Amino acid sequence: MNETPLCSVLFPTRGRTGKAMKAICQMIRLWKGDLHDLEIIVRVNPDQWCTDVAMGEQFFNQEVNEGLKFILLVDQLKGYRHLHRYFNQMAPLATGKWIFMMSDDGFIQTDGWDEIIAKVPVNPEVEPALLQPECNGEPNCFPIISRAWYRELGHVAHHVSLDGYLQRIGEIIGCMYPVDIYVHHEKHELTGCPVDDTRRERDEFLKEFNQNPWENQVNAPQFLKMIQADADQLRNYMALIM
């Protein structure tokens, strides 16, 4: 058992108790190492108190005795538009060598996914790195960043499309590693899964969001400036440690 977990999983959820339980349990079932090396941080909204918070408490009572570190965070931020803020809020609580951005509609399919992360030829406590699991045939929907990456920047992302935000930084500094971890993303437009209230809220937000792409998209000038600033900070750090 290590004092520092191998991986911290950041897991925002709202109003999807059944999916969230399934996703977390599958993540644990496919973890082959010591559960002390896994840390799960779940963030729920109090407007779903009777379901989401009760789920978190039930899961805590079941799993903590097995050695898993489980943190339940309750906050009043609402809606898909704040997704990056949720991750920025959870990340300071993470103590793992790798920080994995997940969601309640992402289901890991790879047995022994922890062993794959452990074999990446990077010291995550020293080197900035972005790991890219495969998701419905595409990389990076559920990105994993090293402890050093987060420590140097102090945030995950400044844009709701945090996967695209992180990928652009990784491209600039050249520290991306595809990993053979498959995550099935239950998005209605990809898999035909039922449209629930959370998905309807997301779709309504995206309609508004896409009406003004030059202001809202991750490639908009103001966000590209933030991306470049983050990349420059990481590159300066890398120059010091090499």
Q: What is the pLDDT along the chain (242 residues), one digit of tens a residue?
A: 457 999 999 998 877 777 888 898 899 999 999 988 999 998 887 666 566 666 666 666 555 556 778 887 877 767 778 889 999 999 999 999 999 999 888 999 999 999 999 999 999 999 999 999 998 776 668 999 999 999 999 999 999 999 999 999 999 999 999 999 999 987 655 555 666 677 777 778 778 888 888 888 999 999 999 999 999 999 999 999 87
Asked if residue 140 belongs to a domain, the reply is: yes
Does residue 62 form part of some domain?
yes
List all residues 6 or more positions away from 150 whose beta carbon is below 8 Å from its beta carbon.
91, 94, 99, 156
Q: Is 211 a domain residue?
A: no
Cα separation values, 165 from 110, 120, 181, 209, 238, Å: 25, 22, 20, 16, 19
> Which pLDDT score, from 0 to 100, does residue 242 have?
73
Using CB atoms within 10 A of its CB, is residue 119 exposed (0-12), middle (13-18) or buried (19+)? exposed
Instruction: Give the pLDDT of residue 144.
Output: 97
Of the candidates 11, 4, 33, the one whose C-alpha atom is nearest the C-alpha of residue 124 is: 4
Domain carrying residue 115: 7-190+217-241
Provide the whole-model pTM: 0.89
Q: Say how far apart CA 121 and CA 30 lie, in whole Å.
A: 22
- Please report whether residue 206 resides in a domain: no
In a domain? residue 30: yes
Give the pLDDT confidence score for residue 97 in this predicted structure: 98
Tally of structural domains, the chain? 1
* 228 part of a folded domain: yes
Q: For the chain, what is the total number of helices (H) and then of strands (E)?
A: 10, 9
> Quick check: is 151 in a domain?
yes
Q: Please count the other Cβ atoms lying within 10 Å of the Cβ belonging to residue 204.
A: 12
Specify the CATH number for the domain of residue 103. 3.90.550.10
Q: Please indicate, yes or no, if residue 212 is contained in any of the structural domains.
A: no
